[in-house]
Structure 1
Amino acid sequence: FERMAKDAPRSARALYVALRDRRAVAGDPVVQSLLALADDLPRLTRGERIFVHFALGKALAELAEPEQAFAHLVEGNALRRQEIEYDEGLVLGAFDRIRSSFAGALPPARPILGAPPVKPIFIVGMPRSGSTLVEQVLASHPLVHGGGERTDFIAAMRTVGLDSAPGANFPDTLAGSTPLEIRALGNDYLRRVSAAAGEASFITDKSTVNFTAVGLIYMAIPGARFIHCLRDPIDTCLSCFSKLFSADVPFAFDLGELGRYYAAYERVMAHWRDVLPLGAMLEVRYEDMVADLEGQSRRILDYCGLPWDPAVLDFHRSGRPVRTASLRQVRQPIYRSSVGRWRPDEAVLRPLTEALKGLAEETSAPVG
């Protein structure tokens, strides 16, 4: 892509990808080509304009021009939002029904005879909350296979009919399920991830959207571990807003929608804190990981039942593939530049802050 950007300086996509995985530097020819395209936006397609705005949003932030960078992100997100189908009421309504469907203390999963011995570690939370860092630490342990963003639990749900009835979706399909179906769900999931884990005793599952199914996973999979990754809400949301996500993250392109999604997600997580036994879920703050990598890594390994291994501190040396928006960061040692990131003025940020208002009071709980 670097060669492509040099040979075809008007290829917006090539310029975007060339900068995506490295830092912009002063006098960067890729940035110069992007600025030239930005002066000629009317002649570009909407898709090309999106690439230009997101690339300049990243590059100008790295070149210490945050106001201009954020202006490009606002334009790029607005254009991308026009391409996305997102029914906010449907999504947030499902979150409310999840909380209603898992009321009271949850029954733990019963042992599954003949189940594969692999132990899953579910890493859940919002995108851009530090989940890739947590997974890289775990995946650097010799007993752990880094599974990445897996779809096995959704596939297992469909296999047992919990997400496949015509016109019905989780959690609505849960009402008619039997204990036998819940056990079959857990067995099917373990069979799927066991094949991926190979000889490893543990496998991570970093599909962060599994936060919606924590209660069901707890009831279906004996010994499942849950690591909830948290980060400052505004830092999390602004980091999401800076990334050109696929349609799988449809809530990230409007600050108001992003804030409302975050608030609804936190209400779901507060509910799991209430209904799960103490110690069933470990909460890890990104800021604490950055400040004390070894201390937090020991805490994570202890929770998972893993012996200490210093290899986890060299997570950036791992050769495993990383396929998330954090792929550049996890190839570097721990760094602090993402903590307390630059924020636009209050007027620009108001749709987000209004959506997040009162969140701390609503969801406050001790971190496990």
Structure 2
Amino acid sequence: MSDTLLEQAKRALAGGDAEQAWVLTQQAVEQAPDNIETLYLSAVLCRLRGDLRQAHVQLDALLAIRPGFGRAHQERGHCFRTEGKREPAVAAYEKAVSCNPLLTASWQLLEAHYRQADPAKAREAKDKIAEVEAMPLELRAALAAYYDEDFALAEERVRSFLMQVPDHPAAMRLLAELGTRMGEYEDAQFILEKCKELNPGYLQARFDLADVLGKRFHYEHALREAEELVSVESQNPNFLMLRANLLLQTGETDLALQEYQTLHDREGDNIRVSLTLGHALKALGRIEEAISAYRQTYGLKPDFGDAYWSLANLKTYRFTDGELGSMISEEANPAIDRDDRIHLCFALGKALEDRGDFARSFEYYARGNALRQEVVGYRAAAVTREIDEQIAHCTSGLFAAKSGSGCVSEDPIFIVGLPRAGSTLLEQILASHSMVEGTTELPDIMAIASRLNGRQEQSEADRYPGNLAELSVEELGALGSGYIKSTQVHRREGKPRFIDKMPNNFRHIGLIHLILPNARIIDARRDPMDCGFSVFKQLFAQGQDFSYDLDHIGRYYRDYVRLMDHWDTVLPGRVLRVQHEDVLDDLEGQVRRILDYCGLPFEQSCVEFHRTERAVRTPSSEQVRRPINRDGAGVWKNFEPWLDPLKTALAGQLA
């Protein structure tokens, strides 16, 4: 009904009957107060009627729902311009084109503004106008839908256009981007490789190809693509940044740092360069320099939530009164980007927790988690079904039938479990041994599981893990050997053993056992309330979608324990469980137990793990550079009044 009213209102406005358009739009707003297009048209009509205050109210409501809606920012600019507020109007137009580069009205007004003040920016705006106007109308319509976040319509339009012009590079790039957004990385890679073959000079698509290869964990291939880009444009900051990011991903932290530092010296006003420089410095333990980089980043963009969260994520940093006030003010801005708001909420939760203001701290943690859950759309039932499938198919009979299969390498030591359960501490202990190299959370096992599952329609049942029974001894051996080969890119020190601490690998222990029967597997276990609340406080870069709701966390923990109990039953003695609290109580005893299980001689350096200098790229990096302590134990009790959903979900797991 509201769509019908909206279309009627648009027709009335196009026909010159602004009053009828107004009446119909207000009826549409009443029926669908969260409809983006209705709120947008209402704001436009408010401005045309001279009611600028109400126009801003409508835009506030719209941007609270869709912060990246470019046309809303453009309309905000029109309102400011009508009010004679030149600088806010310019800022709004700049925001508009950053969200939607097709908005020629914003570009035209920016070009006029910068004609005298900044000729270079004026030329850029003029070039953008020409670029948009030269674009085929069908492609422009597809891109318009994309920037409005109507991805289904964008795909429909771009596919229709490609039927007419099959090798159009910008259209191929858009289709690949839509695939990437849907997680169809293999499809995106295929399209971009074809685009490179047909249009080798179209560097934007080649940049996307390197990025997609990185997302698929094909780091060596991605680095080759990045090197090719740099060889074509050696001073392009985006290409240099891409190469540096890939170096960081493959453990070449020192080389990556050199690149970031060079970029930072040259591009000092680039917030992404400053932020990532801080990340590299943090990984190397150069904390004061990392803090300086993060502070410089929010100095460049005061509402850049990731800079504040990066400071909070150091775990040892304490915000100043001024920083706290700035964060509160920026988060309260209704026009702030959603991602910035999420990062600020988590940072404010940490800042207020450190000050003992637990009620306000929890409010921000809860707000940040709720916003993030809206983005990830986690479904707890899907994970429960996955665990059920592992239990149903990975039986004692399967392992008996496949006895003697797999690659015989003893190199890998897997550390599995939930995040925030003490896995980084165990990694640091083991990586302090002369025979063991610490790497990072490697994606290779999950990539193997994904390949075994294959591409499917949503209605199709999963092939994996049921098809493990169909694999021959030779095929299982090849998968194990492939894992050893693919992880070689992360091994830089020539040591005989290495650590893979991807926590989610607990869901694939059956696969690990079949393809790497001599690998060691350690289950990092922590008190469920300590672990659960610590997960709730953490904003993860990716891959832990269960963590943004207390009930989801509790259910995930239950499923995790249920599956680990199954592995203990069907593979007795295969997994070593290490309880975090036991490590705190008896460090040396647990170190000896871990080393014995791994077949490694005792070394005192493992007890003195905090003295080991190495890059650590997880949230606990600073905590493992200090001697053993109990700082994180029992923290959840400060928030107990608000944790009933977690307690309820953990029923049966609490002592």
CA distance in 2, matches of 1:176, 1:240: 37
- Name the % identity: 37
Q: C-alpha deviations, 1:62-117, integer Å up to 9, x for none?
A: 2222222112101110111111132322221011110011122633752768x6x5
The corresponding residue for 2:520 is 225
The corresponding residue for 1:70 is 362
Is 1:331 the equivalent of 2:621? no
Is 1:133 the equivalent of 2:425? yes
The corresponding residue for 1:164 is 454
CA distance in 1, matches of 2:531, 2:652: 17
Q: Which is greater in Rg? A: 2
The corresponding residue for 1:263 is 558
The corresponding residue for 1:357 is 651
1:338 aligns to what SS in structure 2? Answer: coil
1:320 aligns to what SS in structure 2? Answer: coil
The corresponding residue for 1:248 is 543
2:608 aligns to what SS in structure 1? Answer: helix
User: CA separation of 1:187/1:194 partners in 2, compared to 1, >3 Å: closer, same or farther?
Assistant: same
CA distance in 1, matches of 2:370, 2:554: 16
From 109, 112, 122, the equivalent of 2:414 is: 122
CA distance in 2, matches of 1:196, 1:15: 30
CA distance in 2, matches of 1:127, 1:19: 17
1:245 aligns to what SS in structure 2? Answer: coil
Per the normalisation by structure 2, the TM-score is 0.51
User: CA separation of 1:134/1:153 partners in 2, compared to 1, >3 Å: closer, same or farther?
Assistant: same
Q: C-alpha deviations, 1:182-201, integer Å up to 9, x for none?
A: 22222222233356435211
The corresponding residue for 2:347 is 55
> How much does 1:310 deviate?
1.1
User: CA separation of 1:7/1:199 partners in 2, compared to 1, >3 Å: closer, same or farther?
Assistant: closer
The corresponding residue for 1:209 is 504
Q: C-alpha deviations, 1:208-253, integer Å up to 9, x for none?
A: 1110111221122131111100000111110000011134111110
> How much does 1:25 deviate?
3.7
Q: C-alpha deviations, 1:250-305, integer Å up to 9, x for none?
A: 1110111111111111100010111113x321110111112222221111111101
What does residue range 180-329 of structure 1 map to in structure 2 within 5 Å? 180-194=474-488, 196-197=490-491, 199-277=494-572, 279-329=573-623
CA distance in 2, matches of 1:195, 1:15: 32
CA distance in 2, matches of 1:179, 1:26: 56
Is 1:44 the equivalent of 2:336? yes
CA distance in 2, matches of 1:145, 1:137: 11
1:33 aligns to what SS in structure 2? Answer: helix
Is 1:18 the equivalent of 2:311? yes
Contact 2:405 2:474 in 1 (8 A): no
> How much does 1:8 deviate?
4.5
User: CA separation of 1:203/1:184 partners in 2, compared to 1, >3 Å: closer, same or farther?
Assistant: same
CA distance in 2, matches of 1:295, 1:6: 47
Gaps of 5+ in 1: 362-368
Number of aligned pairs? Answer: 355
CA distance in 2, matches of 1:112, 1:357: 38
Q: Structure 1: which amino acid aligns with 2:342?
A: I
CA distance in 1, matches of 2:641, 2:318: 30
> How much does 1:37 deviate?
2.8
Contact 2:319 2:351 in 1 (8 A): no
The corresponding residue for 2:642 is 348
More helix by share: 2
1:98 aligns to what SS in structure 2? Answer: helix
Greater shift in the superposed pair: 194-203 or 60-69: 194-203
2:415 aligns to what SS in structure 1? Answer: strand
Gaps of 5+ in 2: 1-293
Contact 1:24 1:62 in 2 (8 A): no
Q: Structure 2: which amino acid aligns with 1:65?
A: D
From 467, 472, 497, the equivalent of 1:178 is: 472
Q: Structure 2: which amino acid aligns with 1:148?
A: T
> How much does 1:22 deviate?
4.8
Q: Larger RCO: Structure 1 or Structure 2 (Cα < 8 Å, ≥ 6 residues apart)?
A: 1
